[in-house]
């Protein structure tokens, strides 16, 4: 739904289903980590900031053309906003990926609180022999 106020600013109302997504994260005590996805010639590089996490507590899974990263925090992280304290225990984020990826050759490295996932692209083409 789109409305306009007196100053002609474009104001969009958030659908209730979107609000419930945010509430689910808060009530489930789950943080969404900062992330970055970059495309290179032969691969995609995904990076996630996961402070307060041990390598053994990270889980990376593929589901169709999406990748999910979940991690349990070493200690509870508390945040206070508007007089309400919320405690978080997990990171979780799912990112949609293009179809031309090679899931079987994916690699990951966790170092200094940063998870780097390299996903090679599928090679689409065929070598042609030149006589």
Q: What DSSP line would sit under 17-63, residue for residue?
A: HHHHHHHHHHHHTEEPPPEEEEE-SSEEEEEEE-TTEEEEEEEEEEE
Q: Is 26 inside a domain boundary?
A: yes
Cα distance between residue 40 and residue 26, in whole Å: 35
Give pLDDT tens digits along the chain (131 positions).
Answer: 444 444 444 444 334 444 434 444 555 668 889 899 999 989 999 999 999 999 999 999 998 889 999 999 998 888 888 888 888 888 999 999 888 888 889 999 999 999 999 999 987 666 777 87
Q: Is 58 inside a domain boundary?
A: yes
pTM over the 0.85 mark: no
pLDDT, position 94: 93
Q: Is 14 inside a domain boundary?
A: yes
pLDDT, position 130: 86
Q: Is 84 inside a domain boundary?
A: yes
Q: Is 127 inside a domain boundary?
A: no
CA 35 to chain centre: 6
Q: Is 61 inside a domain boundary?
A: yes
To which residue do tokens 């969009």 refer?
A: 12
Total domains present in the chain:
1
pLDDT, position 43: 93
Q: Is 19 inside a domain boundary?
A: yes
pLDDT, position 98: 86
- Give the CATH number for residue 71: 2.60.40.790
pLDDT, position 57: 95
Domain that holds residue 27: 6-120
Please, which residues have CB within 8 angstroms of residue 77's CB and are 6 or more apart in sequence? 31, 52, 87, 88, 89
């Amino acid at each position: 739904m789109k409305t306009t106020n007196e100053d002609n600013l474009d104001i969009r109302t958030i659908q209730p289903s979107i609000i419930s997504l945010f509430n689910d994260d808060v009530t489930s005590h789950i943080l969404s980590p900062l992330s970055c996805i970059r495309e290179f010639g032969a691969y995609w590089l995904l990076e996630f900031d996961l402070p307060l996490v041990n390598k053994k507590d990270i889980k990376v899974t593929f589901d169709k053309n999406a990748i999910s990263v979940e991690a349990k925090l070493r200690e509870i992280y508390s945040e206070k906003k508007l007089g309400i304290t919320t405690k978080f225990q997990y990171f979780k984020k799912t990112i949609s990926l293009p179809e031309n990826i090679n899931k079987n050759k994916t690699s990951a490295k966790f170092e200094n609180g940063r998870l780097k996932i390299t996903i090679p692209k599928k090679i689409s083409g065929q070598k042609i022999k030149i006589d």
